[in-house]
Amino acid sequence: DAGITQSPRHKVTETGTPVTLRCHQTENHRYMYWYRQDPGHGLRLIHYSYGVKDTDKGEVSDGYSVSRSKTEDFLLTLESATSSQTSVYFCAISESMAGGRGQPQHFGDGTRLSIL
Amino acid sequence: SQKIEQNSEALNIQEGKTATLTCNYTNYSPAYLQWYRQDPGRGPVFLLLIRENEKEKRKERLKVTFDTTLKQSLFHITASQPADSATYLCAPLGFQKLVFGTGTRLLVSP
């Protein structure tokens, strides 16, 4: 299994509080991604990173920010959590960006976030 | 907009039979398509990739087809086993990003 660790694995918090999720990889892959997964929706891309300090928005980026200060760590922050952000969040890594050689993405086991 | 359709209803089959899952896409022409397996409480795991110029790809008991005219990929598991029970996601390549379907849950009973 690819070395991807997400923390925390579960979190319950209140509306309006800031939340930071962490993704840590030991594979030295350049690309890292944050997705959310909700019933009735496929995995939806929030933000991704193509290198240290290089990030870009995905399709559902409103209300989220990211940072990548080291190759191995990619942080997702909800500045002021809302109930609509209750979801399961997955981090993924890949050697190349989709559109390249079709390299697979490797996923962590997710963070289940509940916002009350 | 790009749209992926996978059967949202669970597919129930008996052990030993062949399971066939469908992935339809509209409004774009992906250069390749990936299939993933997801178990409850776990992240997706990559299974197979098929490119637009490949009609069929096999890996052990798995077979994937890719029909660019029908805009459809079929995922087959032959001689299915209870351990194959999981949700299977298709992910065609969008504009430089994978676009994931909602997945189809497969239940293989002994």
Tens-place pLDDT, residues B63-99: 999 999 999 999 999 999 999 999 999 999 877 788 8
Average pLDDT over every residue of A60-70: 97
Q: Of the spans A1-15, A16-30, B17-31, which averages the highest pLDDT?
A: A16-30
Average pLDDT, chain B: 93
The alpha-carbon gap from B5 to the nearest alpha carbon of chain A, in Å, equals 10
Tens-place pLDDT, residues B18-59: 999 999 998 888 889 999 999 999 999 999 999 988 989 999
Which residues on B lie below 8 Å from A99 (Cβ)? Answer: 31, 93, 95-97
What is the spatial distance between Cα A80 and Cα A67, in angstroms, rounded to a whole number?
A: 16
Is the confidence at residue A59, as pLDDT, over 80? yes
DSSP A24-46: EESS--SEEEEEEE-TTS--EEE
Using 50, 70 and 90 to split pLDDT, how confident is the model at A18? very high
Distances (CA, A) of A73 to A67, A69, A90, B20, B43: 8, 7, 14, 38, 18
Q: Chain B within 8 Å of A25 (Cβ-Cβ)?
A: no
**pLDDT at site A103:** 83
Tens-place pLDDT, residues A80-90: 999 999 999 99
**Cβ distance A49 to A34 under 8 Å?**
no
**Cβ distance A32 to A23 under 8 Å?**
yes
**pLDDT at site B38:** 97
Which residues on B lie below 8 Å from A35 (Cβ)? Answer: 100
Q: Which residues contact A77 (CB under 8 A, 6 or more apart)?
A: A18, A19, A20, A21, A64, A65, A66, A67
Q: Do A99 and B96 touch (CB under 8 A)?
A: yes
